[in-house]
Structure 1
Amino acid sequence: MIWVTWRQFRAPALTGAALVAAAAIGFLITGLRMHHSYAADLAACAPLHACDGTTPAARALGARFSQLQRGYEPMFELLQLLVVAVPALLGLFWGAPLVGRELETGTHQLAWGQTVTRTRWLAVKVAVVGAAAVATAGVFSWLLTWWAGPLDELNGGRWAAMTFASRGIVPLGYAAFAFALGTTAGLLLRRTIPAMAVTLAAFVVIQIFFPAVVRPHLLPPTTVSYPINQDVVSRAQGIDFRNDTADIALLNLPVPPGTWVTDAPPIEDSSGHAVAAAAHPECFPGLGSDEVTTDFADSGTCLAQYDLHQTVSYQPASHYWPMQWAETGIFLVLGAALAGFSFWWIRRRQN
């Protein structure tokens, strides 16, 4: 049965291997060049924070880092999208046809008419092709994690939705889930094209829903309340006027480096009510004119007398790998549940 499965899977496997090899060559050629440029610039201003200085040399080196970011940014976004799409493609082209095509063409009758039981027939298919799918996603994830290392350091964050989903071990969980999803869809629909459409639609919905709704709550966030005063305002990167100045909020409050801010509601008073900018016009020169001045050096001192605060919830940098494991585990469990359902369904089928 393993030999038969390999014979059926040989063409997709060879095609996938060729694509992985081509991608690896592209990653290595561009990645080595980028890593060399980054290492050379880093060595010129070690440690890295020296590039943030005000001397002409430091500014020049900082400009070189910015140029490096801008030069590779389009490729960075494209490769991230590619790695995020790999699990979906595996579910479409390896998972959905795995059983759906055999049921559609009737070739499953040949296997079921022999001594091979239908559960063993399905188990071998799922084990062989599923392992190949997870391995393929792992290779792409490792290549991108290595390739984007310098850019991740310069960007200073690994929490962006697409960045988190394309790094580390999360793509392995996605691949297992997408493959099981495609296999189950093919088994239920008994048609390859409809199964591919269902797999793609379901995977896209989950990729939108999970980062926005579930991921921020995988681990309890840390919540900090910042008093609004001159010190806090001066360390923020500006003030945001929301809902036509009905709410105000500080931008990029001084949270620890490497954190993911999951919630930053507007500035509130001691009673927990949002504060409108119009309630304190003396603190915002130019309020009500066509353009509010962006110089808020004195706004913090002015607002301090009103006992205001802004609460920020964030996931600390130490939660990155626990959340990677948690998300991977969730999708592995979902994939195992779909596989278990497929075995239950195929055993109940009489025809």
Structure 2
Amino acid sequence: MIWVTWRQFRAQALTVLVLLAAAAIGFLVTGLRMHHSYAADLAACASLHACDGATPAARALGAQLSLLQRSYEPMFELLQLLVIAVPALIGIFWGAPLIGRELETGTHQLAWNQTVTRTRWLAVKLTVVGVAAIATAAIFSWLLTWWAGPLDHLNGNRWAAMTFASRDIVPLGYAAFAFTLGTTLGLLLRRTLPAMAITLAVFIAIQMLVPTLIRPHLLPSTTTTFPINQASTSQFHGFSGSQTDFHFDLPTPRGAWLISQPPVKNSSGQVVRIEDYSDCFPGQDGGGQGDDPDLDQIGACLAENNLHETVTYQPASHYWPLQWMEAGIFLVLAGALAGTCFWWIRRRQN
């Protein structure tokens, strides 16, 4: 049965091996060049103690690192999208046709009339192709995680939706889920094309909903409230305002994931506007225009009004727990879908 499954799957497997080899060469050639440039610039920064220092040489090296980041940015975005698309392609082209095509063409009747039971037939197919799917996603994820290491360090943000979903172990969970989703839909619908289309639609919906509705709430977040006064505004990084509200760019720990930063509110919890305190915002027209404001001056002026702003974030230490939790959730969902396949194929009449 394993030999038969391999014979049916070998064209897809060989295609993926060729693509993996080509991707590995591309990652290796561009990655080694980028890592070398990054290491050389970082070593020069260490000798100057900081790339954002005040000396002309330090500023020049900081600008060089920024140029390195910008030069690889288009490729960075494209490769992230590629790794995110790998589980979807696995679900579409490996999962949906795995059983759906057999039922659609009627070849399952030949298999089911042999000595091999339906359960064993399904188990071998799911195991062989499923392991290949997870291994493929793992290789692509490892290649991108290594390749993008310098850029991730320069960006200082591993939490962006595309970054988190394309790094480390999360793609493995997505690959297992997409594969079993496509297989289950092919089994239930008995048609390959509808199963492929629904698999793609569900996967896109998950990629849109998980970063905003599920991932931020898997672990308790940290919320910090800052009073608006001269002492606190000295820690703020910036300011923006509109006709309806205004924000200060509040500090968070290094590597943290900023989840929410509501506008400034008064002691009653109501959002306040710039025009309510126009004397404290010289040069501002209610739309965030004008010269950069003096935050210390604004803070001193607003101090007596008992205003505050909050920031909610996931600390950097939650990165790996969230990686494991999200991957685990989709592996459990994949197991549930596989169980549905076994239950359905047992009760199904020929």
> Would the TM-score normalized by the shorter structure come out above 0.5?
yes
Q: 1:42 touches 1:48 (CA, 8 Å); kept in 2?
A: no
CA contact (8 A) 1:284 1:293 kept: no
Where does structure 2 lack aligned partners over 5 or more consecutive residues?
A: none
Residue 208 of structure 1 corresponds to which residue in structure 2? 208
For residues 195-225 of structure 1, the C-alpha deviation after alignment (integer angstroms, 9 at most, x for no partner) is 1101000100111011111111010001111
Deviations 1:289-328 (A, max 9, x none): 7844432331111111211111111000000000000100
Instruction: Tell me the matched-pair count.
Output: 348
- In structure 2, what is the Cα distance between the partners aligned to 1:289 and 1:106? 68
Alignment of 1:99 with 2:96, yes or no, is no
Tell me the distance in 2 between the aligned counterparts of 1:268 and 1:259: 23
Q: Tell me how far apart the structure 1 counterparts of residues 228 and 19 of structure 2 sit (CA, whole Å).
A: 54
Gapped runs of 5+ residues in structure 1?
none
* CA distance 1:47–1:232, shift in 2 (3 Å): farther
**Residue aligning to 2:347:** 348
Amino acid at match of 2:67: Q
Q: Pick from 258, 263, 267: which aligns with 1:261?
A: 258
Equivalent-residue separation in structure 1 for 2:52 and 2:140 (angstroms): 33
Change (3 A) 1:347 1:100: same
Contact 1:238/1:296 (8 A) holds in 2: no
Structure 1 residue 261, shift from structure 2 partner: 0.9
Q: Write the distance in 1 (CA, Å) between the matches of 2:82 and 2:236.
A: 35
2-side partners of 1:321 and 1:49: how far apart?
30
Q: Does 1:6 align with 2:6?
A: yes
Would you say the 8 A contact 2:239–2:293 is kept in 1?
A: no
Moved more, 150-159 or 231-240: 231-240
Match of 2:283 among 282, 286, 298: 286
**Aligned pair 1:315/2:314, yes or no?**
yes
Amino acid at match of 2:180: A
Q: Percent identity?
A: 70
Q: Show the 5 A alignment for 1:1-351.
A: 1-46=1-46, 50-242=50-242, 245-251=243-249, 253-288=250-285, 291-297=289-295, 298-351=297-350
Please give the alpha-carbon distance, in whole angstroms, between the structure 2 residues aligned to 1:152 and 1:87: 22
After superposition, the CA RMSD in angstroms is: 1.4
| Secondary structure, counterpart of 1:70 in structure 2 | helix
AA at the equivalent of 2:324: W
For the residue of structure 1 that corresponds to 2:50, the secondary structure is helix
SS at match of 2:158: coil
CA distance in 2, matches of 1:174, 1:78: 19
State the distance in 2 between where 1:75 and 1:288 align.
40
Question: Per-residue displacement from partner, 1:55-90 (whole Å, max 9, x unpaired)?
Answer: 000000001101100110000000000000000001
2: distance between equivalents of 1:186 and 1:47? Answer: 60
Is the contact between residue 87 and residue 179 of structure 1 (CA under 8 Å) also seen in structure 2?
yes
Q: Which whole-Å CA distance do the structure 2 matches of 1:163 and 1:261 have between them?
A: 14
Asked whether the equivalents of residues 83 and 166 of structure 2 are also in contact (C-alpha less than 8 Å), the reply is yes
Q: Partner letter of residue 115 of structure 1?
A: T
Whole-Å separation in 1 of the counterparts to 2:108 and 2:320? 43
Equivalent residue letter for 2:271 = A
Residue identity opposite 1:294 in structure 2: D
CA distance in 2, matches of 1:332, 1:346: 21
Cα 1:130–1:241 shift into 2, 3 Å: same
Distance 2:239 2:40 in 1: 37
